[in-house]
């Protein structure tokens, strides 16, 4: 009994020093390299994604906001992805509206617009949910609530990824995809697929750290 309490005290001491060391190592706002710790946090997590270079470039501007919080990193990745989804959605809407498409391509473009719209909704919900998780960080909240939000975000983000891919699938055949339509659609949507895959990867990695 006495022994295990000593072990506990030692553990607490070590944990305490580790935390103190970590916060001491964090750069002060006045330092010229402010945010270095934060940007290496972003790079470390990005290294585990499918498209690390894209992850670095798109999330570097959020390094300060993210700090060393996985929830805020996931929020940032989802926010960037939501921006990409809105862009892709409006690009496809104007492609569909231009009216020079074959009937098959016009139908595929209409399907795309509606699927990308669903994706935008799913990502918006995901951003909101991850913002709630980020706000609750450091407070005593029920782990069950965090688990619930994170599981929902995983579901929504993977549904968005499916929507993006299905949009491009619609232009695979020659009837819809011929005459440059396939390439145009890929140009509008492929970047979004990569952003979504990265965001989902970060959420999945974060989920592994979330207590069940
Ligand atoms: C969406 O479009 C805006 C305006 O063109 C651009 O600034 C932004 O970087 C785009 N977002 C993404 C994620 O591609």
| CATH number of the CATH domain containing 140 | 1.20.140.40
3-state SS class at 167: helix
Length of the chain: 212
Q: Is 2 a domain residue?
A: no
C-alpha span between 127 and 121 (Å, rounded): 10
Share of the chain above pLDDT 90, in %: 71
Indicate the top mutation candidate among 79, 82, 87, 91 to test ligand 1's pocket, ranked by most ligand atoms within 8 A of CB.
87
Residue 35's pLDDT band, with cuts at 50, 70 and 90, is low
Q: What is the dihedral of CA 140, 19, 210, 160, to 10 degrees?
A: 110
Domain that holds residue 146: 70-212
Task: Select the more confidently predicted residue: 212 or 79.
Answer: 79
Residue 212's pLDDT band, with cuts at 50, 70 and 90, is confident
Q: Tell me the mean pLDDT in the region 87-110.
A: 93
What is the domain count for the chain? Answer: 1
Indicate the top mutation candidate among 83, 90, 160, 197 to test ligand 1's pocket, ranked by most ligand atoms within 8 A of CB.
83
Q: Is 14 a domain residue?
A: no
> What's the angle, vertex CA 78, arms to CA 162 and CA 59, rounded to 5?
125
Give the distance, in angstroms, between the CA of residue 61 and the centroid of all CA atoms in the same chain: 14
Q: Is 119 a domain residue?
A: yes
Q: How far is the CA of 211 from the centre of ligand 1 (A)?
A: 35
- Other C-beta atoms lying within 10 Å of the C-beta of residue 17: 10
Q: Is 27 a domain residue?
A: no
Q: Is 34 a domain residue?
A: no
Q: Is 83 a domain residue?
A: yes
Left if phi > 0, otherwise alpha if psi is -120 to 50, otherwise beta: which for 25? alpha
Q: Is 15 a domain residue?
A: no
Q: Tell me the mean pLDDT in the region 145-170.
A: 95
For the stretch 7-21, pLDDT in tens is 444 344 334 333 333
Q: How far is the CA of 87 from the centre of ligand 1 (A)?
A: 6
C-alpha span between 82 and 122 (Å, rounded): 9
Q: Is 88 a domain residue?
A: yes
To which residue do tokens 């009994």 refer?
Answer: 1
């Amino acid at each position: 009994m006495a022994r295990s309490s000593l072990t506990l005290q030692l553990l607490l001491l070590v944990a305490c020093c580790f935390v103190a060391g970590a916060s001491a190592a964090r750069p002060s706002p006045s330092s010229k390299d402010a945010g270095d710790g934060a940007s290496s946090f972003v790079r470390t997590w990005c290294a585990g994604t499918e498209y690390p270079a894209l992850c670095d470039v798109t999330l570097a501007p959020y390094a300060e906001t993210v700090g060393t919080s996985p929830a805020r990193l996931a929020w940032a990745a989802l926010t960037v992805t939501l921006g990409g989804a809105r862009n892709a959605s409006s690009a496809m809407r104007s492609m569909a509206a231009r009216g020079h498409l074959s009937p098959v391509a016009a139908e595929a473009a209409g399907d795309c617009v509606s699927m990308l719209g669903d994706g935008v909704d799913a990502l918006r919900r995901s951003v909101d949910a991850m913002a709630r998780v980020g706000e609750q960080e450091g407070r005593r909240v029920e782990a069950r609530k965090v688990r619930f939000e994170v599981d929902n975000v995983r579901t929504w983000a993977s549904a968005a990824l499916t929507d993006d891919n299905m949009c491009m699938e619609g232009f695979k055949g020659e009837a819809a995809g011929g005459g440059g339509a396939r390439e145009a659609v890929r140009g509008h949507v492929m970047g979004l697929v990569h952003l979504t895959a990265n965001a989902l990867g970060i959420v999945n990695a974060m989920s592994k750290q979330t207590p069940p």
